[in-house]
A and B are shown apart, each in its own frame.
Chain A
Amino acid sequence: ETGVTQTPRHLVMGMTNKKSLKCEQHLGHNAMYWYKQSAKKPLELMFVYSLEERVENNSVPSRFSPECPNSSHLFLHLHTLQPEDSALYLCASSQDRDFTDTQYFGPGTRLTVL
């Protein structure tokens, strides 16, 4: 399945590095999401974009910076992360930001911060 793709699949970075996660959706959707999934914890919604406009930012530290250049692409720029930021970062998309819309997830980027 290639509806939502994410790169890289795995990333190891030091606390002083700058890196970016990329997400691309091929479904013609208008809404895209970034989630964080830590071990034994629920998925945490980080950011939501609808029609390329950020509509939600759930108290995420500024060391995470999203970018949505168009409706098909979503980036998460990472800067001076902490070891506790190590997690699986999942991108998702849905037709619109609507209560009934199903979200389709990418395979995730497993991030390790040393």
Chain B
Amino acid sequence: RKEVEQDPGPFNVPEGATVAFNCTYSNSASQSFFWYRQDCRKEPKLLMSVYSSGNEDGRFTAQLNRASQYISLLIRDSKLSDSATYLCVVNANTGGFKTIFGAGTRLFVKA
């Protein structure tokens, strides 16, 4: 089992739709969680950190479920500019600090 797993997609949604991505992680010692966004042929950029209580930033909502070991990202009212690959990132302390990226979920928002 991969340490961090994401559905690669692609997710094809119309503008204005709500779309959700999940990311599962295998290491119960994982400490912190992030969603990054990567545009085609560009570097990853932080979208948002994921807090235990869940957090919201405009149209984006991130949630953490430690019991089931997954994090989620919800995008409401999708825009064309949301088209990108969304990377799940997990930091774990497993006898050393590990940063593990998921392979990403591709999103295409269409007019």
- The judgment on whether A and B are partners is yes
Residues of A with Cβ closer than 8 Å to B? 33, 40-43, 45, 48, 55-56, 90, 97, 99-100, 102-108
Residues of B with C-beta under 8 A to A97: 97
- From A40, A99, A106, A107, give the contact of B91 (CB < 8 A): A99
19 residue pairs of the A-B complex, CB under 8 angstroms, read: A33-B99, A41-B103, A43-B44, A45-B101, A55-B97, A56-B96, A90-B43, A90-B44, A99-B91, A99-B97, A100-B31, A100-B32, A100-B49, A103-B46, A103-B99, A104-B46, A105-B44, A107-B42, A107-B43
Is the CB of B93 closer than 8 A to any CB of chain A? yes
Is the CB of B107 closer than 8 A to any CB of chain A? no
Chain B min CB distance to A86 (Å):
15
Report the bound CA distance from A43 to B103 in whole Å. 7
Residues of B with C-beta under 8 A to A99: 31-32, 91, 93, 97
Instruction: Report whether over half of chain B's contact residues are helix, strand or loop; otherwise say mixed.
Output: strand
Per-residue CB proximity of B8-34 to A under 8 Å, as 1/0? 000000000000000000000001101
Given contacts A43-B101, A99-B31, whether A105 and B87 have CB atoms under 8 Å apart is no
Residues of B with C-beta under 8 A to A56: 96-97
Closest chain A residue, CB of each to CB of B98: A45
Closest chain B residue, CB of each to CB of A94: B99
Residues of A with C-beta under 8 A to B59: none
Chain B min CB distance to A112 (Å):
14
Closest chain A residue, CB of each to CB of B8: A40
Query: Does the CB pair B34–A43 fall under 8 Å?
Result: no
